[in-house]
Amino acid sequence: IKPKMAKKGALRTLSFILILSRVISCPNDCSFKGMCNIYNQCECFEGFTDADCSRRICPSGPAWTAPAIATDMGHQEKECSNAGLCNRKLGTCECFPGFVGSSCQRLACPASTEGVECNGHGKCLSMENHAKERPNHGIVSYGADGLSTLSHISFLVDDDIQAELGSTETETRNWYQYNEIWDAPMVHGCVCDFPWTGYDCSYRECPRGD
């Protein structure tokens, strides 16, 4: 190849690249958070969105409220669980009052003025975990609707529980597994320590008699 021909070829290639760079141009150069494709559209990196990839995506969770998409099908994944606003600069959810979590995915338990959940006299549990706190010794009963979503799990009772029940023989007991409902891990409430009671564990129980 002659030097002059090689030089002309290099100039043509450079000209083509310059023309192509002008033709393929994305908004704001995709904010350096994405790649510009041949259709002049930004393909954003993970965690970013918008035409120029300038805004962050927030965590998602099952929507507290959303239109049904089919019979008995709803609560699809939505940013901030449709219970908060997404801070597009930070990529974090700013939850509406009463909702907490990275994606506003759970109800907040009642708290003291200092912000201590259940006033420090109980545990803030989801319905799923609350069910595990309620062993069934044949005393607890549920209606037909409840039984359709509650499954029984059997396990051996440990020594401490045997002593509490006044039994010296190996026995089993049941507790309830409640995890098939969409909001089982989302709805929370206070489970109070004795002798505290009330929805926020702020009251003491009084002595009882027959």
pLDDT number for residue 132: 75
- d(Cα 129, Cα 131) in Å, to the nearest integer? 5
Q: Is 15 helix (H, G, I), strand (E, B) or coil?
A: helix
pLDDT number for residue 55: 95
Cβ neighbours of 192 (radius 10 Å): 21
pLDDT number for residue 57: 96
Q: Is 209 helix (H, G, I), strand (E, B) or coil?
A: coil
177 touches 132 (CB < 8 A): yes
172 touches 135 (CB < 8 A): no
CA distances from 183 to 159, 177, 187, 191 (A): 34, 14, 6, 18
pLDDT number for residue 171: 47
User: For each successive 10 residues of the chain (210 residues), what is the average pLDDT?
Assistant: 55 52 76 93 94 95 89 88 96 96 94 89 89 59 40 50 48 66 90 91 87
Nearest to residue 48, comparing CAs of 38, 36, 58, 40?
58
- d(Cα 201, Cα 119) in Å, to the nearest integer? 6
pLDDT number for residue 201: 93
Average pLDDT, the chain: 78
- d(Cα 40, Cα 56) in Å, to the nearest integer? 20
pLDDT number for residue 140: 44
pTM greater than the 0.85 cutoff? no
Give 174: exposed, middle or buried? Use CB within 10 Å, 0-12, 13-18, 19+.
middle
